[in-house]
Amino acid sequence: MNIKVIGVGKLKEKYLKDGIAEYAKRMSKFGKFDIIEVPDEKAPEQLSDAQMQQVMQKEGERILGKIKDREYVFALAIKGKERSSEELAAEISKLALQGDSDITFIIGGSLGLHPDVLARADAQISFGRFTLPHQLMRLVLSEQIYRAFMINAHSPYHK
């Protein structure tokens, strides 16, 4: 199985990099796990609606350029469907059984995801209504993907 996480912006904090690297190492026994960073669009602090849309569009084009046609795509979005760890594990297992072995998760930048990215997604997933820094979200998502694989492997890790 090939799992890819596409995130906007460069990960800066060492502790986040270290945590993600640990989960990537653990994931290697289940398949390939990649984190793809696309540049965030520089923008002034105060943006008009038009400027916000322009920033999201440019970031969205960069994201879409990293997705292949055959990939099953989960977009992380506040309005997405909340899932338990067990539900995500079951969904990943079902995708694998259907032959969808290339799964991509997308984390947008500080303004969110452009509608074109959401339209490309096969599913939208939410980690709740609270806001997390998108860099921290990469670590949280990496752990949850690893947890899903451990659930599917009937490992005691999940307990």
Residue 158: per-residue pLDDT: 66
Residue extents of the structural domains in the chain: 2-158
Binding residue positions for S-adenosyl-L-methionine: 76, 108
Check: pTM over 0.75? Answer yes or no. Answer: yes
Give CA separation, 17 vs 6, 12, 20, 98, in Å. Answer: 15, 8, 5, 32
pLDDT of res. 47: 86
CATH class of the domain defined by 2-158: alpha beta
Which residues contact residue 72 at a Cβ distance below 8 angstroms, ignoring those fewer than 6 apart?
A: 95, 100, 102, 103, 104, 122, 123
Which residues are known binding-site members?
Answer: 76, 108
C-alpha span between 107 and 138 (Å, rounded)? 7
Contacts of 149 (CB under 8 A, 6+ apart): 27, 30, 89, 92
**Could you give the residue ranges of the DSSP H alpha helices within 28-133?**
49-64, 85-97, 115-120
Q: What average pLDDT does range 115-134 have in this prediction?
A: 92
pLDDT in tens, 72-123: 999 999 899 999 999 999 999 999 999 888 999 999 998 999 999 999 999 9
